[in-house]
């Protein structure tokens, strides 16, 4: 599976979910809770797979800066996600945390899909990129179970 298509699909799904959460009202507690659970189920396996497979492959070929920056952005996103999960979905600060998480994710996705994808194309051929995609997909499945 093509790495870029796989990651782009995940990114699009997370962005849509964040948008729905950001637009939700405090009265929609049940949908906020289920949306937050879904967000966690999408984000955590995605980030773990990227870090262990994709970013590690970049580190291995000398693209450490871009990989380490991606890992730091994941760390920041995990912290905000954890903060978001720690407060009640009806808390008036909840929506602001969703917005901040969305901004972090959007920034990360933009950098990844441009700068990081470009570095990957420079370092790996099409077959290697497909193999990375397969390995990322396998790692995501492992995290989901």
pLDDT of residue 20: 95
Q: Tell me the pLDDT tens digit for each residue of 97-125.
A: 999 999 999 999 999 999 999 999 999 99
Predicted pLDDT at 69: 97
Structure-token match 């602001």, residue found: 96
Whether this model's pTM surpasses 0.85: yes
Neighbours of 45 (CB within 10 A): 19
């Amino acid at each position: 599976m093509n790495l870029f298509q796989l990651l782009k699909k995940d990114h699009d799904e997370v962005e849509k979910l964040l948008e729905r959460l950001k637009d939700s009202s405090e009265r929609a507690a049940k949908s906020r809770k289920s949306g937050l659970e879904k967000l966690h189920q999408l984000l955590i396996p995605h980030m773990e797979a990227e870090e262990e497979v994709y970013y590690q492959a970049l580190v291995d070929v000398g693209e450490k800066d871009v990989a380490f920056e991606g890992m730091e952005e994941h760390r920041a996103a995990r912290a905000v996600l954890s903060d978001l999960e720690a407060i009640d979905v009806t808390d008036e600060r909840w929506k602001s945390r969703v917005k901040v998480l969305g901004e972090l994710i959007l920034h990360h996705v933009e950098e990844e899909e441009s700068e990081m994808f470009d570095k990957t194309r420079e370092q790996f051929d099409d077959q290697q990129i497909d193999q990375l995609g397969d390995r990322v997909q396998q790692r995501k499945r492992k995290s989901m179970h």
